[in-house]
């Protein structure tokens, strides 16, 4: 699928980007070029140490910001595939710096779309978040706007053979700033701060997130928001899995934080299909494909009326034991109680 293709990944030095690069190099040895586009020169320097040019000549490192449309267009010359992972992601950071969040997450999305249309790119997949579903914080609201921009971009492609779609998933196990590394570090203090004892979250590994993007690249018609079927966990179970001996301190729900995460609302269900391993939310307005086109292409069926996908009402749950296994596999191979 990606052999002899040129791929650009925005935010390519982040947790997802590094796992994506590792996966591409492993599965597609004849990939033509991987352009790692980000604004952090230190992270690019560190990645260059891992992938020196004499051994990985297909890697290119571009310093740039998705806010800069001219630089974005320059980076996209000759590119076949774009994975858009760049974003301001921290909820509290977005609340305190709203204009910066909007410029990166919304204006940046527009710039990626325009660059893709101008440069003859064939496939674009943007990363979303569960917080974009019925958002209550600015980060979620900007990602919802970004999702809408990417799905609607299929309506302005004209005669260009380009497809835009989105992948939306929950909290990535072990990613920077996430709860598991935070709890592992806090374990040393003998006390774990949790926001609310009933809080739940969806859970996905970095590799599963990459595999979802691969599925979207291979299967999308354009306009879909792909949602994986993944388990939930309770925040108390994470605490017990990591440090059962620690005291629990309830610190309260932070501004802009939900008690449970949702990836498909009951209103979304009107346009949602079940693909087996995944769901796909279809565009409410599409000038390129009908609902039947998507159902036929994906061999899917519509979800029931009123269906919703919520971490609190999910039927698939991680246990304390399964969480410990996953932490060892995906976060810290030396983890022990």
Phi then psi dihedrals of residue 121, to 5 deg: -65, 145
Using alpha carbons, select from 91, 71, 76 the residue that is nearest to residue 6.
Answer: 76
Using alpha carbons, select from 239, 141, 224 the residue that is nearest to residue 194.
Answer: 239
Determine contact, residues 56/25, Cβ cutoff 8 Å.
yes
Residue appearing with tokens 């947790």: 15
Q: Can 131 be counted among the known catalytic residues?
A: yes
Name the catalytic one among 5, 43, 131, 186.
131
Neighbours of 67 (CB within 10 A): 16
Cβ neighbours of residue 106 closer than 8 Å, sequence gap 6 or more: 142, 145, 146, 149
Cβ neighbours of residue 169 closer than 8 Å, sequence gap 6 or more: 128, 129, 130, 202, 204, 208, 209, 212, 227, 228, 230, 263
Phi then psi dihedrals of residue 202, to 5 deg: -75, 160
Determine contact, residues 18/24, Cβ cutoff 8 Å.
no
Q: How far apart, in whole angstroms, are the C-alpha atoms of residue 334 and residue 7?
A: 34
The region, left, alpha or beta by phi > 0 then psi within -120 to 50, assigned to residue 320 is alpha
Q: What is the DSSP string of 258-307?
A: -SS-EEE-TTGGGGEEE-SSEEEEPPSS-SS--HHHHHHHHT-EEPPTT-
Q: What is the DSSP string of 113-160?
A: HHHHHHHT--EEEEE--GGGSS--SHHHHHHHHHHHHHHHGGGG-TT-
- What is the set of active-site residues? 131
């Amino acid at each position: 699928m990606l052999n002899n293709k040129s791929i650009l990944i925005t935010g390519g030095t982040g947790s997802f980007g590094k796992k994506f690069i590792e996966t591409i190099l492993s599965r597609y040895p004849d990939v033509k070029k991987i352009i790692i586009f980000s604004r952090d020169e230190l992270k690019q320097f560190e990645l260059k140490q891992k992938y020196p040019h004499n051994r990985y000549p297909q890697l290119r490192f571009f310093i740039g910001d998705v806010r800069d449309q001219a630089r974005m267009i320059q980076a996209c010359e000759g590119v076949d595939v774009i994975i858009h992972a760049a974003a301001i992601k921290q909820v509290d950071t977005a609340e305190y710096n709203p204009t910066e969040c909007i410029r990166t997450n919304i204006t940046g999305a527009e710039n990626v779309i325009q660059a893709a249309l101008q440069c003859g790119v064939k496939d674009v997949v943007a990363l979303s978040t569960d917080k974009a579903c019925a958002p209550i914080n600015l980060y979620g609201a900007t990602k919802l706007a970004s999702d809408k921009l990417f799905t609607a971009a299929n309506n302005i492609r004209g005669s260009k053979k380009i497809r835009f779609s989105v992948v939306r998933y929950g909290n990535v196990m072990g990613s920077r700033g996430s709860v598991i590394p935070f709890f592992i570090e806090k374990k040393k203090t003998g006390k774990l701060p949790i926001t609310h004892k009933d809080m739940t979250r969806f859970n996905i590994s970095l590799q599963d997130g990459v595999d979802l993007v691969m599925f979207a690249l291979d299967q999308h018609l354009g306009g879909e928001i792909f949602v994986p079927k993944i388990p939930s966990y309770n925040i108390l179970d994470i605490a017990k899995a990591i440090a059962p001996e620690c005291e629990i301190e309830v610190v309260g729900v932070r501004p802009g934080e939900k008690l449970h995460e949702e990836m498909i609302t009951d209103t979304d269900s009107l346009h949602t299909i079940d693909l087996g391993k995944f769901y796909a939310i279809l565009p409410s307005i599409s000038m390129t494909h009908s609902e039947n086109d998507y159902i036929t292409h994906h061999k899917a069926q519509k979800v029931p009326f009123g269906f919703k996908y919520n971490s609190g009402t999910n039927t698939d749950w991680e246990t304390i034991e399964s969480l410990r296994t996953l932490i060892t596999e995906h976060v810290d191979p030396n983890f022990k109680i």
